[in-house]
Chain A
Amino acid sequence: EDQVTQSPEALRLQEGESSSLNCSYTVSGLRGLFWYRQDPGKGPEFLFTLYSAGEEKEKERLKATLTKKESFLHITAPKPEDSATYLCAVQAKVGGNYGQNFVFGPGTRLSVLP
């Protein structure tokens, strides 16, 4: 069964203190790995898609990387406005029901203190 775990569950950083969030996955053939940001009371906002091991994507202070078993979301010099829950999801190669092929992790709650 495809699974996604994320760590840590919650992370508190001081403004400017860089860190990384982890997403570990078990999937029967990876089609894509996705990172989303979710603010309280809102829907997830798409950040990145990664397709193969070794791939990296960057957007402002965020950089996502992918290996065969995990992905990291690196946050460089974070600001308070980066505070949110970061969700990771995987889509497995299509076969069988779609619902079994797109799985979200529980998320990491990031708080950046000024």
Chain B
Amino acid sequence: NAGVMQNPRHLVRRRGQEARLRCSPMKGHSHVYWYRQLPEEGLKFMVYLQKENIIDESGMPKERFSAEFPKEGPSILRIQQVVRGDSAAYFCASSPFTPRQGALGYTFGSGTRLTVV
């Protein structure tokens, strides 16, 4: 049973380009969460998705960032017109339960390290 798979592991983009980060949740998990980790800072929640639905995007910047979790395929975090401040590690986590169903530690992927040059 594979864990949460994220790709690419490392991504380098020039300022103004687009970055697409992919996350395949664990088998049987239909809840996906994206977090951003800046150097020397804790994980910051960005967005919570279920299949074909964005449940909570309160942590997403209002502009340039979007996320989706289609019926088929991985969840995608998309950053348009990247800037240097977007350089960070982006982690995806998945869970078989909703937050209301239980306080359970969910499973994280290994992350995508985005570097904007």
Contacts and interface: CB of A to CB of B under 8 A. Distances in A.
Interface of A: 4, 31-32, 34, 36, 41-49, 51, 87, 89, 91, 94, 97-107
B43 A87 contact: yes
20 contacts: A31-B103, A34-B105, A36-B105, A41-B110, A41-B113, A43-B91, A43-B110, A46-B105, A48-B105, A49-B105, A89-B43, A97-B58, A98-B56, A98-B58, A98-B99, A100-B58, A102-B99, A104-B35, A104-B44, A106-B41
A42 B48 contact: no
Max chain B CB contacts within 10 Å: which of A49, A99, A101, A107? A99
B43 A101 contact: no
Contacts of B46: 99
Interface residues of B, number: 31
A103 B105 CA distance: 12
A99 B104 contact: no
Nearest to A96: B58
B65 interface: no
B25 interface: no
Interface of B: 4, 6, 35, 40-48, 55-59, 91, 93, 99-100, 103-111, 113
Max chain B CB contacts within 10 Å: which of A36, A97, A101? A97
A99 B111 contact: no
A99 B48 contact: yes
Nearest to B101: A94
A49 B108 contact: no
A108 B44 CA distance: 16
A49 B42 contact: no
Given A42-B110, A44-B91, A102-B99, 7 more contacts: A44-B43, A46-B106, A46-B107, A49-B103, A98-B99, A103-B45, A105-B42
